[in-house]
Homo-oligomer: A and B are copies of this chain.
């Protein structure tokens, strides 16, 4: 819409009556330029409203002070909380964070990965969509620091920050078992997702520890989408398949799912049904304690995770040092899991 091309450093030099080198100097090392000259350049910059071309700068300089993060779902508070932790750590070193959402689509993940890499980011924080991290290893091999978020690297050669999901599942199931429940419906995601599988392992461990048989106790339902409506739909189908007799204990792979469960149960059998169904969620999102039925949930230290992830990224970029940080989740008991 504006035919004229952006003014370049050469234009600035011309109108200020200096050389491009001098302009570059006032841009990057102002103190090495004589004040009167500097002023002349600065007013030329203002006059032309010059903005330096980041691509050229970067092409010349090599890398950049930006790091990219690719989250699974920008709408999930868990991830945005982690993002805040990342930002806070990055700000300390005057680095900036660029966010993208893969929407759990490997193609989108790949697209953003390529975009970030092509633009020479310092590093990448990624919540992988799939189980394989080979493509991420490749990227790291090419010189971009990569840190896995919310996914253990299992000696893959990538730094990672995760929570111990086995323990998380174990905490949740043990709590339900302690309440006397002999059967648990587990609304889980597909086992291709590492955390989902791990939480199941934890559930089974708790069941075994209680002297019971996992196969007899746990009824795992695999959700297509890990959000409220996906859970609502899945549970609606479950109820239909079980002649409307509702489960007594439900463990949900995240709080959004638990909210969907509450929504479904309330619709199907009102508050009474809700009250006699023990529900445990995961993530302990902000509003978990404010729900109609305050939600018992497994809390993950999101902000710390983000902070640690950024820290690992910088370490990796700096010295090549690789590490895995595993946080321990904690069960926050509220009334949703306590039935009478």
**Which residues on A are within 8 Å of B, measured CB to CB?**
1-2, 6, 49, 51-59, 66, 74-75, 77, 80-81, 83-84, 87, 96-101, 103, 111-112, 114-115, 117-120, 138, 141-143, 145, 228, 256, 259, 262-263, 286-287, 289-294, 316-317, 319-320
Contacts and interface: CB of A to CB of B under 8 A. Distances in A.
Contacts of A6: 142-143
A287 B256 CA distance: 9
Contact of A291 (B56, B80, B98, B290): B290
| Residue with the greatest number of chain B CB neighbours at <10 A, chosen from A114, A290, A316, A320 | A290
B263 A290 contact: yes
A316 B143 CA distance: 38
Q: Which of A1, A56, A286, A287 has the most CB of B within 10 A?
A: A287
Given A49-B142, A294-B292, A75 B84 contact: yes
Q: How many copies of this protein are present in the complex? A: 2
A74 B66 contact: no
Contacts of A55: 54-56, 58-59, 119-120
A280 B259 CA distance: 21
Nearest to A50: B142
A24 to B, nearest CB: 15
A114 B51 contact: yes
Contact of A100 (B51, B59, B98): B98
Given A57-B118, A118-B53, A96 B84 contact: no
B292 A49 contact: no
A334 to B, nearest CB: 10
Given A80-B80, A143-B6, A59 B49 contact: no
Contact of A59 (B56, B262, B293, B294): B56
A90 B57 CA distance: 28
A48 to B, nearest CB: 10
Contacts of A141: 2, 49
